[in-house]
C-alpha cells in the first residue's frame, strides 16, 4: 500500500510526526509512505527508512492557492504517485479537500482527532479539567492504526540513527571543537506567541549567570531580523556565548545533537532538540504540557512551570492576551530556577563527546 501522509504546518507539529512515521515505516517495510508538507520541512525527513519519501510543496504558488488549487494538487499527485490511502495528520481545510477528493476516488482515508473539545475544557477560564490529554504522538499513531497499521511502543531514538549525533565536521567551520569537560548549552528564547516567551530581560540574566560558569559554552538559537539583533547583543556582552546565525536547519540539527542541554520555550526548538536525543529544559507559560505537546522523550521534571495559578493554562497555543496583562505565569519563573535546572541536567547527564 502506498500512503500519502499530509501535515503542512506548524514546524513543531510537523517535527512531532517524525518519531511516529519512522516507527510505522520501520514496522511495515512492505508499504510505501510519501510525506506531503512544505518544502522547508524537508530536513526533518532526510534520515527516514527507505520506504519513506518527502514531497515538498509551495502552497504560496498561484497554482496551488485556494480550494481549486488543492484539488489540482491532489489530482497531480494521485496521477504521479498512485497512492492508495491518505493519513491526514493535520485536519485543516486544505487536507479536508484532499480527503474529499480521495473519498470520491474510492481511496481510503484516516484523519487525526485533535481533541478540540477536551482542550477547550483544559483551558476554559473557570472549572478547568486539569488532566493529561493524549499526546500528538498518540493522535498521529491512531491515524495509522485506523488504516490498519497499528504500532506499539514508538521505537525512534534520533534522526541520526543509532549514532544519536550528527557529523560535527559539517559545522566545524562555524564553531571550534569542544574542549575537554566543556558543557554545551543551547538557548532558544523565542516562540510564535507572547504567552510562550520568557521575558527577555530575565532570559538575559540566565545567559549572564551561565556565562560565568566554568567550562561552559552557550549557543543562542533564533531567526528573524529582530531576534537576531537581540541575540547578537547578548553574544557581544558575554564571552562564552555564540549565536548560531547562518546555519540552515540541517546543520542546526547537527549542532543541537552535540548539546548537553537545550533551553526552549514550548516551541519548535523543543521538538527539534528532541529529534536529536538532546535533553530539553522547557519553559511553559500560558500553555501546559497537559495539552499533549511535550517534546518526544523529554522528562516532565525538566518542564519549568508555575502550577498554582488558576488562570493556567489559558490557551492551547499561547496566542491569547494575558488576563492580568503581566504574564505572571512566565515572570514568576525566576532566572535562578532556570539556571539551577540547566546545571542539574548537565550534571546528571553524561557529557556529550564531539
User: Between 59 and 339, where is the model more confident?
Assistant: 339
Residue 40 reports pLDDT greater than 90: yes
Q: Which of 186, 210, 193 is nearest to 258 (CA)?
A: 186
In this structure, what C-alpha cell is assigned to residue 62? Answer: 498561484
In this prediction, residue 246 carries a pLDDT of 82
The dihedral formed by the CA atoms of 143, 146, 148 and 154, expressed in degrees to the nearest 10 = 40
Residue 228 has pLDDT above 80, yes or no: yes
**Nearest Cα to Cα of residue 47 among 154, 156, 161:** 161
Dump pLDDT digits (tens) for 172-192: 888 888 888 899 999 999 999
Residue 17 has which C-alpha cell?
Answer: 510526526
Mean pLDDT of the region 45-73: 94
Percentage helix, strand, coil for the chain under 3-state DSSP, each rounded to 5: 40, 15, 45
Q: What is the mean pLDDT of the chain?
A: 95
SS3 113: coil
Q: Which three cell numbers stand for residue 211?
A: 556565562
Q: Which three cell numbers stand for residue 265?
A: 520555550
* Domains contained in the chain, CATH given: 2-156 (3.40.50.2000), 166-348 (3.40.50.2000)
Tell me the per-residue pLDDT of 102-156, one tens digit each, with 9 for 90 and over. Answer: 999 999 999 999 999 999 999 999 899 999 999 999 999 999 999 999 998 899 9
Beta-strand ranges (E) seen in the chain are 2-6, 32-38, 52-57, 85-88, 108-111, 183-188, 216-220, 241-243, 261-265, 280-283, 303-304
Question: Is 219's pLDDT higher than 90?
Answer: yes
Q: How confident is the model at residue 350 (pLDDT cuts 50, 70, 90)?
A: low
Q: With bands split at pLDDT 50, 70 and 90, how would you rate the model's confidence at 347?
A: confident
Q: Given a cut of 70, is residue 354 above it in pLDDT? A: no
Amino acid at each position: 500500500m502506498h500512503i500519502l501522509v499530509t501535515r503542512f504546518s506548524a514546524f513543531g507539529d510537523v517535527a512531532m510526526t517524525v518519531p511516529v512515521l519512522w516507527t510505522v515505516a520501520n514496522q511495515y517495510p512492505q508499504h510505501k509512505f510519501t510525506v506531503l508538507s512544505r518544502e522547508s520541512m524537508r530536513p526533518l525527513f532526510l534520515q527516514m527508512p527507505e520506504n519513506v519519501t518527502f514531497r515538498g510543496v509551495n502552497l504560496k504558488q498561484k497554482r496551488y492557492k485556494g480550494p481549486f488549487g488543492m484539488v489540482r494538487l491532489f489530482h497531480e499527485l494521485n496521477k504521479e504517485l498512485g497512492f492508495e490511502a491518505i493519513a491526514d495528520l493535520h485536519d485543516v481545510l486544505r487536507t479536508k479537500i484532499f480527503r474529499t477528493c480521495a473519498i470520491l476516488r474510492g481511496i481510503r482515508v484516516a484523519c487525526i482527532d485533535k481533541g478540540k473539545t477536551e482542550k477547550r475544557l483544559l483551558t476554559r477560564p473557570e472549572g478547568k479539567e486539569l488532566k493529561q490529554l493524549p499526546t500528538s504522538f498518540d493522535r498521529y499513531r491512531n491515524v495509522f492504526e485506523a488504516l490498519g497499521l497499528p504500532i506499539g511502543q514508538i521505537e525512534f531514538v534520533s534522526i541520526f540513527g543509532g549514532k544519536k549525533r550528527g557529523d560535527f565536521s559539517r559545522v566545524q567551520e562555524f564553531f571550534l571543537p569542544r574542549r575537554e569537560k566543556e558543557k554545551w548549552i543551547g538557548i532558544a528564547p523565542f516562540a510564535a506567541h507572547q504567552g510562550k516567551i520568557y521575558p527577555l530581560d530575565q532570559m538575559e540574566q540566565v545567559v549572564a549567570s551561565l556565562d560565568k560558569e566554568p567550562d561552559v559554552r552557550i549557543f543562542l538559537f533564533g531567526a528573524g531580523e529582530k531576534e537576531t539583533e537581540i541575540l547578537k547583543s547578548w553574544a557581544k556582552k558575554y564571552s562564552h556565548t555564540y549565536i548560531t546565525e547562518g546555519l540552515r536547519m540541517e546543520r542546526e540539527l547537527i549542532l543541537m545533537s552535540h548539546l548537553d542541554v537545550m533551553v526552549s520555550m514550548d516551541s519548535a526548538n523543543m521538538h527539534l532538540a528532541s529529534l536529536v536525543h538532546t535533553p530539553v529544559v522547557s519553559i511553559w507559560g500560558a500553555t501546559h504540557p497537559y495539552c499533549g505537546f511535550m517534546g518526544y522523550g523529554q522528562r516532565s521534571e525538566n518542564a519549568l512551570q508555575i502550577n498554582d495559578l488558576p488562570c493556567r493554562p489559558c490557551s492551547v497555543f499561547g496566542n491569547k492576551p494575558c488576563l492580568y496583562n503581566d504574564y505572571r505565569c512566565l515572570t514568576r519563573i525566576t532566572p535562578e530556577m532556570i539556571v539551577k535546572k540547566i546545571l542539574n541536567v548537565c550534571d546528571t547527564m553524561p557529557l556529550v563527546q564531539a
